[in-house]
Amino acid sequence: MPTKSSSGRGSGSTATANPPGNQTPNTPDINESEIARLKVDQLRDRLRRRGVTGTADLRKDDLVKALVKAMRDGAKKSTSARAGSSSRRGSSSAKKSTSSAANPPGNQTPNTPDINESEIARLKVDELRSRLRGRGVTGTSAMQKADLVRALVKSLRDDSDGSTRSSSGGGGVRKGPQNSKSIKYAQEVTSVDDEPERPGRSLVTTDHEVIRRWAEARKGVPTTVDGTEHDGHAGVLRFDFPSNGREQRLREISWEDWFRTFDERRLNFIYQEERSDGKQSNFFRLESPNREDG
């Protein structure tokens, strides 16, 4: 009888520390079953936000394991930091630690862990202008440094909001002053479940999985035009199809780099699934709502 009673208490304790769907003990915020239901691009996006690189060639199972590990490591660091802060500063510092978890040091914008405003403020004026130019922001030549910092933070924050929407099933069209008629009259596609209304229909999306599947169905390889790179970032984005004879001026890059550049420049992907005669179409075009990026 004592043995059963002891076992019962142990079982209840484990269930509390390790809720359903979570196979990692003492990590109540990590639901591995939920993580396993994420799409490959969503997994890569979350890993990238946690500073994990080299995910372009990982399969889904490996991406799931990597994300769980990153979250587990982050939970350990957060627990350690809170414990140290509590022992040094008492209950008042514990409240500050909770705030810091959502808004890391150097980041004055809540819930944007990838935007370190202190680090951005240390950039030189030319570097700030270059980064803004790469994100399609114009009219920076007359700005003072403080204005450039605010503009870059705003651009990053806007993209962070858009990325969150996309990873939760978005893919909506990016709007701006230079949206073309092609965007206006194209059918918006927000997920791989959307079908063209008819053959030859012009389509538009920002959904990573839709774009990847479209390209891979045509054996397209993500590339950048050689010589257009700048500041360590990919240049003009393209796909290289076998029917093109593998163009020499195109340099293959990872899907991760391709989509990072696609999102940083706030591009829309305009394309066709089929031509009007029903044959598969390789037509696509990239367009920014702030400037043309042919």
pLDDT digits (tens, 9 = 90+) for 58-103: 889 888 898 888 888 876 765 665 565 555 555 555 444 444 444 4
The pLDDT of residue 214 is: 96
Angle, in degrees to the nearest 10, between helices 40-49 and 255-264: 70
Whole-number Cα distances in Å, 99 to 77, 86, 105? 15, 13, 10
Whole-angstrom distance, CA of residue 210 vs CA of residue 54? 22
User: What's the whole-model pTM score?
Assistant: 0.45
Domains of the chain: 12-102 (no CATH), 103-168 (1.10.720), 181-287 (no CATH)
Strands 237-240 and 284-287: unpaired
3-class DSSP assignment, residue 280: strand
Q: 67, exposed or middle or buried, with CB in 10 Å at 0-12, 13-18, 19+?
A: buried
Does pLDDT of 2 surpass 60?
no
Q: What span, in angstroms and rounded, lies between the C-alpha atoms of 180 and 268?
A: 11
Q: Closest Cα to residue 236, out of 271, 216, 212, 261?
A: 261
Q: What is the mean pLDDT of residues 263-279?
A: 91
Query: Which of residues 130 and 150 earns the better pLDDT score?
Result: 150
**Nearest-angstrom CA–CA distance, 196 and 67:** 34
Given the DSSP bridges, would you call strands 203-205 and 268-271 parallel, antiparallel or unpaired? Answer: antiparallel
At residue 211 the predicted structure's pLDDT band, cuts being 50, 70 and 90, is very high
Ranges assigned E (strand) in 226-291: 237-240, 250-252, 268-271, 284-287
Residue 130's pLDDT is what? Answer: 79
Q: How far apart are CA 44 and CA 232, in angstroms?
A: 20
